[in-house]
Amino acid sequence: ASIRTTAVRDGDYWIINGTKQWITNGPICDFCTVVATTDPSKGLKGINFFLVEKGTPGFSYGQVINKLGCRGVVTGELVFDNCRIPAENWLGDDLEKGVEYLGEILDEIRIMTGAMALGIARAAYQEALEFARKRVAFGRPIGKYQLIRAKFADMATEMEAARLLIYRAAWMLDQGMNCRKEAIMAKVFATEVCQKVVDEATRIYGANGFALEYAPQRHFRDARFLLYGGGTHEVLRDYLGRLLIGRL
């Protein structure tokens, strides 16, 4: 496992050391759930979850990241320097089941990220639609031009496909079904569609899409962040391929 933060048992306590980066709302949290390695020799089976509260000695907030987009939430680092927490702050009932909990959490995160991407795409689409109805070029609204209409047709089709993938994965999750593959598909497809839609929206706005006073630039910036949440698409495509092919 690539998790470097460690948790070592010391009597009635766990001692945590390491740094967590890119934590949403991390610098303002009252408590956090920390993933740490309790036995590096076991790889993924050696990771576990711990509850750490604000004010715990050895727990501090690190750098606040100045992001390109998604600026409505603060993102930063959490630092653990010989952070001593009570043994009961270990979350779980089996030291080798942490990876199972992590997988379930990532399923939810990936579906959620796909839904966020769809929301951004829909906002960009709706605003571009209104702009195309009102913006007049060469004597008529740009929405009357065939190439502009084709852009909206493609955007609407791909967003609908993304929506169905997200809904199916979310339904499977609610039913307690294994949705590992479906969650990855929904996340990757929806966020890729989002990139296309926000890009087309800026093009429909023309030069105005490059101006900070118009919405497309915000959607364009926010959409980029979703490419990384829940795993990069390069990693997820490889993982999905392994799930589909199985052990060789």
Residue 246's pLDDT is 87
Residues paired with 10 in a beta bridge = 13
pLDDT value at residue 96 = 84
pLDDT on residue 44: 87
Residue 153 sits at φ, ψ, to 5 deg, of -60, -45
Exposure string for 72-99, b = 16+ CB within 10 A, e = fewer: eebbbbbbbeebebeeebbeeeeeeebb
Asked if the model's pLDDT at residue 248 lies above 70, the reply is no
Among candidates 151, 147, 146, which has minimal Cα distance to 129?
A: 151
Neighbours of 54 (CB within 10 A): 12
Evaluate if residue 1 carries a pLDDT over 80. no
Residue 229 — very low, low, confident or very high, per pLDDT cuts 50/70/90?
confident
Confidence of residue 233 (pLDDT cuts 50, 70, 90): very high
pLDDT 10s digits, 172-192? 999 999 999 999 999 999 999
Average pLDDT over residues 65-79: 94
Paired sense of beta strands 47-53 and 90-91, if any = antiparallel
pTM of the model: 0.90
pLDDT tens figures, 97-130: 888 999 999 999 999 999 999 999 999 999 999 9
- Domains defined along the chain, listed by start: 6-91 (2.40.110.10), 98-245 (1.20.140.10)
Does pLDDT of 206 surpass 60?
Answer: yes
CA–CA distance, 44 with 3 (Å, rounded to integer): 9
